[in-house]
Amino acid sequence: MFMSRILLISTFCCALIACGGEDPKPSSDAGAAVDTTVDSGGALDSGAVDTGSVAKDTGSVAKDTGSVAKDTTKPATPCYVALHCVQDCPKGDAACQSKCGEDTEDSDGAALKDIATCAVDLCKEVSEGTASEQNCAFDKCFDKYDSCGAFGSGATSCVDTVGCVATCSLTDFACKLECMRNADKAAVTIARDVLVCAASKCGAAADQNALSSCISTECATAVAACVGDAPLGCPDIVQQTAKCTPSSVVNSNNCLGMVMGLADAAGRTAFQSYGTCKDQCTQAVNVVGCWIDKCASQAEACFPSTGSSNCQDLDKCALDDCEGIGGDPDCIKKCIGKGKSTSQDAYLLYEGCMVRNMNTKEAKTVNCMFPYDQSTCVPVIKGQFCGSEAQNCFTDQ
């Protein structure tokens, strides 16, 4: 059982936000320990002066222990990089998993093994191979994952961290690990509390609406700590959910339900009412014009605004003042506040689409990075992935 639980890392977060049923098992084999053995038998040439004497041949031959000396000519592999490496190994490839830890520092190699040891010790009463086991491991061994995963190395808030994890597919451990790594140190533990609560108390929710309702009630204390004094309102829900990859059988996530679980009741109601109204404009030639014509009151309820800027103006403001999409969030919020209600909506949907397609192979081919290079990155993503969102924004009334 120890060997089969040795690296639960590939699925810890999928269990944290699972919605109904058990999650599919990841591709990486959790059954092989990371080999961090270092050959200590090779003495380092210290450049001693030749005294002319010749060592006596004793006829003995050094025993081959089978260990491989650590390559000291290149930087050591950080623990969190080794975690990603293991996750990417083909299922059952013990040699690949072992190789991932070869060039780690001894302390990092020990951290990798500590995760497995902790999981076996503290979760042995939980049925093996289930979502409950994975959730138990991450919950009770959080400090082990934290020390290896470099959680809290960034500046992302709790709300954005939970939103980031929610956008990942249920089996994409690497994605969720990066979300926790990019979080602010103070936000990591709070975000973890929300995710663990959602998994343990709301994992059987039948759909996104049931999930959000469950999270907002059953996890109210964790949610309050995450959102602080400002629970998400309708504009915040739009901004967060615009970054959600559409959920499907192949690429399943609980993004919408998780985000709405952090919102207040008024925000959820306004978001759903506006969304229902906008559905009748899906096939319109000028979608935003249709929103203005048919959903003005719902738009105002979601985006209370006295601004007059249209979506193109908001994009120009973000570019001129904030370095464009991917620039300073507070700066961009100031730009958005200058817009008409429907313009704010159109811009956030455009921005969200651009952000969620940042890591596509097409974007990486032209070296897209934040803030966006307007001359190369934007045309690629806008042209191949966000055409309708761009059209809605740049034909805004």
**pLDDT (tens digit, 9 = 90+) per residue, 248-265?**
777 788 899 999 999 999
Beta-bridge partner residues of 309:
339
Whole-model pTM: value is 0.72
Cis peptide bond prior to 26, omega within 30° of 0: no
112, pLDDT greater than 90: no
Say if residue 94's pLDDT is above 60: yes
pLDDT tens, residue by residue, 252-302: 888 999 999 999 999 999 999 999 999 999 999 999 999 999 999 999 999
Query: Is the link from the previous residue into 78 a cis peptide, with omega within 30 of 0?
Result: no
Give the containing element (helix H, strand E) for 294: helix 287-294
Residues 6+ apart with CB under 8 A from 233: 263, 264, 266, 267, 270
More confident residue, 306 or 48: 306
Neighbours of 358 (CB within 10 A): 17
Domain ranges of the chain: 278-397
Query: If you average pLDDT over residues 59-77, what whole number do you get?
Result: 56
Does residue 48 carry a pLDDT above 80?
Answer: no
What is the per-residue pLDDT for 117? Answer: 81
- Please enumerate in sequence order all residues whose Cβ is within 8 A of that of 75, keeping only pairs 6 or more positions apart, or say none: none
- Cβ-based burial of 66 (10 A; exposed 0-12, middle 13-18, buried ≥19): exposed
Cα–Cα distance for residue pair 381/377, rounded to 1 Å: 6
Q: Residue 215's pLDDT is what?
A: 95
Beta-ladder partners of 54 = none
* Count of all residues that appear for the chain in the document: 397
Q: Number of H helices and number of E strands within the chain?
A: 22, 0
Q: For residue 209, give both structure tokens.
A: 């609406």
Contact yes or no for 377/369 (Cβ under 8 A)? yes
Residue the block writes with tokens 């004094």: 229
pLDDT at 330 over 90: no
Of 114, 123, 113, whose CA–CA distance to 15 is shortest? 123
